[in-house]
Amino acid sequence: MTSLFQNLPLPGLGAADLSRLPSAVPPRDGGQSRRDVDADADADREADPQTGRVAGSAAEAEALLVGLNPQQREAVLHHGGPLLIVAGAGSGKTRVLAHRIAYLLATGRAHPGEILAITFTNKAAAEMRERVATLVGPSARRMWVSTFHSACVRILRREASTLGLRSSFSIYDSADSQRLLTMVARELDLDSKKFPPKALAAKISALKDELVDPETFAATASSDTSSFESVLAQVYTRYQARLRQAHALDFDDLIMTTVHLLQAFPAVAEHYRRRFRHVLVDEYQDTNHAQYTLVRELAGVGSRRRAEGEGAPDDGPRGELTVVGDADQSIYAFRGATIRNILEFEADYPDARTILLEQNYRSTQNILSAANAVISRNSGRKPKRLWTDSGAGAQIVAYVADNEHEEARFVAEEIDRLGDSDGVRPGDVAVFYRANAQSRALEEVLIRVGLPYKVVGGTRFYERREIKDAVAYLRAIANPDDDVNLRRILNVPKRGLGDRSEAMVAAFAERERISFGAALGRLDEVPGLGTRAITGLAAFATMMTDLRSLAASGTGPAEVLGAVLDRTGYLAELRASEDPQDQSRVENLAELHAVASEFAQSEPDGDLADFLERVSLVADSDQIPSDDGEGGGVDQGVVTLMTLHTAKGLEFPVVFLTGMEDGTFPHMRSLADTDQLAEERRLAYVGLTRARERLYVSRAAVRTSWGVPNEFPASRFLDDLPEEVVDWRRRESSMDTLRRPAYGSGGYGSGGHGSGGYVSGGYGSGGSGTRTAGSSSRTGSTQAARAGSAAPRAAGGATFGSATPRPEGTVPDLALGDRVTHDAYGLGTVVGLENSGPNAVAKVDFGTEGTKRLLLRFSPVTKL
């Protein structure tokens, strides 16, 4: 770890390179000026145990306990060893934390300067500070109430000289870090496609979250110099050296460097342990390894055990540690959060006391019973059951739609009905979904019916970068003289065409008074263009000409879009990325492809220009006010759309939880992984407990991806809901109804996630409020139906709403062991057969794509 604490001789970062890096910038979430450092010194003097503490009156302290339930009171009064407060959703944890801090101050057990309270967001920190100030007055300003990163910045600026840093060190955000990594990769002459800076940044961030420094990683990396590990080790070492030379830390360094500071300099660690006699941590279930270790160091546990071994006597300075959290709400493993930190708190701190907060002050009992039932299926959790004394409340409304459009229409109709019958405002309503791509169908229906909405924690569908890129390609194809869109995509994805070459072509076009697109056809006349630039630009122009020919031949918008994503390499680049956000972008592009497929179905004579007109009209009407008032009537607010991850910590009177299908939620990637599936269940628990008064759960029997309608069984979370708390407005889709024996169905059941089997009821078919009698299953699915695997990731032959059957007599005659090819899944082997004729079903093993159960008359399968 010497690189963190020694001034290394750092070669070669030239002045030109340094000029491209940010100068000293303020920290992202609360840095510290010199004045702050002086104030801290004053606070240290005030907090010295020798100065003593003055307690408030006994009456003031007792007043802080009024209105608390027995468990909350117990948590506020606790004195002595570490305390774990297991706070169920809506159980008043913020109030408990604020009252515990206020009680410490009121009883003289702590001075404001001796309290360190850590939260995960600046908003939560401000709320905590405000609540305590309301209880104890302005002295609360001298407490440290901040995020992990803000607290570390304050410590590091004070101790900068110990580390050989300037106290004015810069803090690089993710964009700065990626820019520096791009420079490092160029210095090492790395192939940016094989080693993209974004992937390198993610790997380095993960290493820092695990407190792995460059030297440690290099010692364990593969000796094969061409391996990713070996290259990453070189990049990590060079990157840290460049940061050091620039007197900069990236965001992940803030915590890692603070931990190493406390571990390498015992006197510094002891100073902070004596100062912060009370350390309180909120949302402990969301801590990663670095944050966990930081808490242990500040609490005075880690250093003694390193020096004296596990089980050593506890005779050094040690503050009182209070952590608040709920393992059932741990949903950020993809960000590095480690659920073991809270599950094993009592093992880490054997003298710890645990208090459960189970009384809920947010939701009705029906909502809580549903949440309890879902989360109880997770193993290894600390048992608890949320309860409330506010009554049972309305039943949870459940609905099965034929497709995602009918589901969206049901949501919009219910919001409208609740407004008319119960006075529910749009601002009282939130709609949750698992993945960003699901917002598109909801947005389009809300626009159509005139309900104002906002997308929180994300971008409106047609404003997302990948959607704007894809649409720009289509517009440049439809109109060769559209300079704005043509220049947007000239180097997207990157194809080595620089700003200088673009500027030369643009200047030539201006001089000749022609469009940029026309200038691309006269590259040999553009002065100053090098051979390499001419080759790249000519290749781009040829590709665009080919795509225009495809569109002019009468090919539908969906096929043109598919050709664009394929020919440009745009989709391949996203799929090759290890960035989880890029997977979300793939899903968004699949949704855009579904839009194009739906357009072809509704407008069979429409061409690419007609499709782009439709997109423009929808995107333009997508400008709906995001604050209350405008467009929604006086103080009506707007409907809130958000992913389930974004919803954590929020609450709404009315919640719609959509997309409740296995493969959608829980997500497809989690179905074969026990740990990931457990996290999906926790995510469902979080979603359910956001509702205060009314909760709706819905699913679509069929969703379309890449133009292929895919049938999904009901989410296993729906099966977990107690029957007595659910009002099923509609139990099964039109397709499920037709399959039942009473309707003369063949043997094709709701089996798996294959792309066949969709018999469209059309948009909105079935109708809101329809009940289907005699359903044999509460959710229209069985556990066996979950044997299917992933939905297709490439364009298939069917279009939305039709799943066009083969002509009679063309269903392939298959036998066990036959090799087949599928438009979406590729090569496969037949491993099972059911029924015959038009109801023939084949079970096909597609290798990495999984085993699919396909209704052959609807499936694009060819026998080899």
Q: Which helix (H) or strand (E) holds 345?
A: helix 345-348
Residues carrying an active site annotation:
93-94, 282-283, 329, 690
- 687 with 628, same domain: the answer is yes
CA dihedral angle for residue 429, residue 433, residue 435, residue 437, rounded to 10 degrees: -70
My answer on whether 497 and 598 are in the same domain is yes
Count of C-beta atoms within a 10 Å radius of residue 646: 17
| Cα(468)–Cα(652) distance, integer angstroms | 32
Residue 210: helix, strand or coil by DSSP?
A: coil
Domain that holds residue 832: 819-863
Average pLDDT rounded to a whole number, residues 641-668? 94
Same domain, 651 and 681: yes
What is the number of domains present in the chain? 5
pLDDT value of position 857:
67
Q: What is the DSSP string of 146-175?
A: EEHHHHHHHHHHHTHHHHT--TT-EEE-HH
Per-residue confidence (pLDDT) for residue 483, from 0 to 100: 83
Mean pLDDT of 743-758: 36
Identify the sign of the CA torsion 576, 577, 580, 584: negative
Distance CA 245, CA 247 (A): 5
856 vs 554, more confident: 554
Q: Are 169 and 32 in contact (CB under 8 A)?
A: no
Q: How far is CA 611 from CA 228, 230, 481, 787, in A?
A: 43, 48, 18, 37
* Integer angstrom CA distances of residue 420 from 398, 414, 423, 425, 426: 20, 10, 6, 9, 11
> Which of 77, 78, 83 is closest to 321 using CA atoms?
83
The domain boundary residue, chosen from 191, 216, 246: 246
Is residue 616 predicted with pLDDT exceeding 80?
no
C-alpha of 719 from chain center: 25
Residue range 820-828: average pLDDT? 78
Checking if the pLDDT of 154 tops 80, the result is yes
Domain contains 791: no
In this structure, of 123-132, 442-451, 521-530, 575-584, the range with the lowest mean pLDDT score is: 575-584
Which has the higher per-residue pLDDT, 810 or 285? 285
The answer to the question of residue 64 being in a domain is no
- pLDDT at residue number 293: 97
Terminal CA-CA length for the chain: 59
Q: Does residue 387 belong to any structural domain of this protein?
A: no
End-of-domain residue from the set 246, 271, 297: 246
pLDDT attached to residue 839: 65
**What digits encode the pLDDT tens for the residues 7-22?**
333 333 333 443 444 4
Same domain, 451 and 468: no
Same domain, 456 and 505: no
pTM over 0.75: no
* Confidence at residue 807, expressed as pLDDT on a 0 to 100 scale: 53
Give the model's pLDDT for residue 619: 62
Other C-beta atoms within 10 Å of 379: how many?
7
Lowest mean pLDDT among 334-343, 454-463, 618-627: 618-627
Contacts of 194 (CB under 8 A, 6+ apart): none
- The CATH number that applies at residue 266 is 3.40.50.300
Tell me if 508 is assigned to some domain: yes
The total number of residues written for the chain in this structure: 864
Q: 455 forms bridges with which residues in the sheet?
A: 641
pLDDT at 292 over 80: yes
Contacts 24+ apart (CB under 8 A), 547-555: 547/473, 547/477, 548/477, 548/480, 551/477, 551/478, 551/607, 551/608, 554/607
pLDDT in tens, 451-461: 999 998 777 78
Range 413-431 average pLDDT: 95
**CA 526, 532, 535, 540 torsion: positive or negative?**
negative
Q: Does 749 share its domain with 824?
A: no
Same domain? For 77 and 142 the reply is yes
State mean pLDDT over 511-534: 90
Coil, strand or helix at 399: strand
What pLDDT, on a 0 to 100 scale, did the predictor assign at position 141? 83
Specify the pLDDT at position 255.
Answer: 96
663 and 519, same structural domain?
Answer: no
For residues 350 and 305, the answer to whether their CB atoms sit within 8 Å is no
Answer yes or no: is 786 within a domain: no
Q: Identify the residue with better confidence: 700 or 38.
A: 700
Task: With respect to residue 296, please indicate whether it lies within any of the assigned structural domains.
Answer: yes
Nearest to 237 by CA among 10, 488, 53: 10
- Confidence bin at 739 (pLDDT 50/70/90): low
Q: Are residues 420 and 471 in the same domain?
A: no
In a domain, 415, yes or no: yes
Q: Are residues 712 and 730 in the same domain?
A: yes
SS3 call for 728: strand
pLDDT at position 834 is: 80
Could you tell me what percentage of the chain is helix, strand and coil, using 3-state DSSP and rounding each to the nearest 5? Answer: 50, 15, 35
pLDDT in tens, 764-802: 333 333 333 333 344 444 343 343 333 333 333 333 233
> The domain spanning residue 509 has which CATH number?
1.10.486.10
- 696 found inside a domain: yes
**327 in the same domain as 236:** no
Q: Are residues 150 and 45 in the same domain?
A: yes
Percent of the chain with pLDDT over 90: 48
Please give the backbone phi and psi of residue 444, each rounded to the nearest 5 degrees, phi first: -65, -40
Q: What average pLDDT does the chain have?
A: 81
- Indicate if the pLDDT at residue 87 is higher than 90: yes
Looking at residue 788, its pLDDT comes to: 38
Asked if residue 38 lies in contact with residue 197, where contact means CB atoms within 8 angstroms, the answer is no
Res. 55: pLDDT tops 80: no
Domain end marker among 593, 616, 639: 616
